Structure 1
Amino acid sequence: MSVPLLSRRTLLGMAASLPAIGHAAPQHGLAAAAQGVNPVLVARALDALARHNSLVWSRDVIGIADFGLPSATPRLHLVNILTGTTTSLRVAHGRGSDPDHTGMLQSFSDAVGSAATSEGAYLTGPTYTGVHGLSRRLTGLDPTDAHAEERAIVIHSAWYADAAILPQQGKLGRSDGCFAVSPADIAMLLATLGEGRLLYAGRVTP
């Protein structure tokens, strides 16, 4: 059964009216827990957490997608502030961000119809069952990803995001801008990065 799509304004309004869950989690522990994550992206995620403090309901786990890394590399980092550990998964980027399918994200875009990955902070929403099976809705919190709901940018699984294709092509396939992961990882990802948490996507350029 699918969950009806809520407008960005409605969802943000609901989030702002709810008390923050896990507010006591030590936010200053993110850098220590983010083992192996680019510190520049960690700093950006912390900044996003501060800017969207009233909207992020739970701060125990923060997702950081490092799109400066090749798609063959685990680059979706789930940073658990409570345990001080990080779990990293492979995640596909949008075909509009890598038109020549090099395996490296070339650019971000939030334009409707771009099929590109968008940079910025996202609020994780409810799960639903769609064409890719169990998935999680996302709401873009920044001007750079404000059209995420209109573009149906979500977290879902896809065969082309599985490591099994790496021996043949050396890179993952591409999504239409969604955060697509291996079917083997989706249950753990959705359970770990539950509703009301922050997912930050970015890259560090030379």
Structure 2
Amino acid sequence: MLFMREDRSSRGGPAGLDAPLFVLLCRCSRLRQPQGLRPARERQNTQARVGGVNGAESLTSGAVIPRRYGCLHTYFGVLFELAARRMRRIYLSDHMALSRISRRRWPLPLPFFTLITLLLVGCRQPVTTQAPVSASASRPVVLPDSAGHVPRLDAQLRQHYRALGDAAQGLRFAVFEQAMTGYLNLRQQGLVPRQRLAIVDFDLPSTEKRLWVLDVSANQVLYRTLVAHGNQSGQLQASHFSNTVNSHMSSLGFYVAGETYVGKHGRSLRLSGLDEGFNSNAAARAIVVHGADYVSENFIKQTGRLGRSQGCPALPLDLYEPIIDSLKGGAGLFMHKSEAGYSSPYLDEQKASAAYFPAA
């Protein structure tokens, strides 16, 4: 036969099988090599397993077969192993290529990443979406800030304040802002028909010019001068205020100027208090604007302070009449003092902003 020989090969192959073909068959079928090509330990293990007549054994399963079937078994075994070798080469080449790519790019198995991905997707927080903003909401909205101011109104009042220039020397913006806020609300309610506003800051001592008369429409300071406080409100500084009749104290808050009359102090201007509980008794107390000789620089030089009234905002003799004329008939007046417990509904900046920026 082509593949069989009667004696054992000198190279150590089994009987009836050509040695080179046997070596090829062993390599393809992953059988153990002949004894001559293996280490001594492997030869001993193989000898312990080999049995049968003349040492003939199956090349694929290791089972002992008779010699008469050796040729046929070997022939089909070789054909089988050659086909298996062809298929194994294709599989292993593709598998090794894929393995190299897999080891290079994915150090962990793909199922591991699949599991992690599923866990991450399951643990994601639900995504919330906001409703779209309506186009009608694009108009700027005026909201009060943490200090209670309306930013839009505040910015506009600052422009007016800066425009007053040096003529408003000594007038702090905080006082100006409160006075203008009340003025806007009073104008909105029709309580102050004239666009004039007088501001008195009792935070300042009587030796300083603490009265300002503003032309709101022209954004100008008309007058800046001295003004007296009540004789029971304090000496140099006014620190006590009252709405009680015969208290001889000054009263804080917003007033509206009325008509003039001639009294014991000459020509005077009536005032109506608009803040309930703070100056609402101004008419009953005869709180008016008038001139007095104790409101002068000479009096300050003699005594170190101005003279005091019975609660009226008394003015210098050389200025009281033009000031009265600028205020009579509906101008506003605001008397300010910090930390005196004063509050007023006319200090509502939301309403003042609505009055300053009327809706289109």
- The TM-score, its normalising length taken from structure 1, stands at 0.79
Q: Does 1:84 align with 2:252?
A: no
State the secondary structure of the residue aligned to 2:232.
helix
Question: How much is the aligned-residue C-alpha RMSD, in angstroms?
Answer: 1.9
Q: Does 1:56 align with 2:186?
A: no
Shift of 1:192: 1.9
Gaps of at least 5 residues in structure 2 are 1-155, 341-360
For residues 133-160 of structure 1, the C-alpha deviation after alignment (integer angstroms, 9 at most, x for no partner) is 0000000011211000000000001111
- Aligned with residue 93 of structure 1, among 223, 229, 233: 229
Aligned counterpart, 2:52: none
Query: In proportion to residue count, which structure has more strand?
Result: 1
Structure with max Cα Rg: 2
Aligned counterpart, 2:295: 161
Shift of 1:33: 5.0
The residue type equivalent to 2:200 in the other structure is: A
- Aligned with residue 107 of structure 1, among 227, 240, 248: 240
Contact 2:273 2:280 survives alignment (8 Å): yes
Counterpart CA distance in 2 for 1:39 and 1:121 is 17
Counterpart CA distance in 1 for 2:316 and 2:217 is 26
Aligned counterpart, 1:120: 253
For residues 25-79 of structure 1, the C-alpha deviation after alignment (integer angstroms, 9 at most, x for no partner) is xx957534552312121121122123322110111x2100011111111111111
Gaps of at least 5 residues in structure 1 are 1-26
State the secondary structure of the residue aligned to 2:184.
helix
Contact 1:40 1:204 survives alignment (8 Å): no
State the secondary structure of the residue aligned to 1:161.
coil
The residue type equivalent to 1:203 in the other structure is: K
Shift of 1:194: 2.5
Contact 2:252 2:336 survives alignment (8 Å): yes
Aligned counterpart, 2:177: 43
For these two proteins, the number of residue pairs brought into alignment is 176
- The TM-score, its normalising length taken from structure 2, stands at 0.46
Shift of 1:205: 4.5
The residue type equivalent to 1:85 in the other structure is: Q
* Greater relative CO, 1 or 2 (CA 8 Å, sep 6+): 1
Contact 2:183 2:197 survives alignment (8 Å): no
Counterpart CA distance in 2 for 1:41 and 1:186 is 23
Q: How does 1:167-206 map to 2 (within 5 A)?
A: 167-205=301-339
Aligned counterpart, 1:131: 264
Aligned counterpart, 2:89: none
The runs of 4+ residues in structure 1 deviating greater than 6 Å are none
The residue type equivalent to 2:202 in the other structure is: F
Shift of 1:127: 0.5
Contact 1:41 1:204 survives alignment (8 Å): no
Aligned counterpart, 1:3: none
- Aligned with residue 68 of structure 1, among 175, 199, 203: 203
Contact 1:110 1:147 survives alignment (8 Å): yes
Counterpart CA distance in 2 for 1:195 and 1:33 is 26
Query: In proportion to residue count, which structure has more helix?
Result: 2
The farther-off stretch of 70-79 and 188-197 is 188-197
Counterpart CA distance in 1 for 2:209 and 2:263 is 25
Aligned counterpart, 1:20: none
For residues 141-184 of structure 1, the C-alpha deviation after alignment (integer angstroms, 9 at most, x for no partner) is 11211000000000001111122211111110110000101111
Contact 1:93 1:175 survives alignment (8 Å): yes
Aligned counterpart, 2:161: 31
Aligned counterpart, 2:82: none
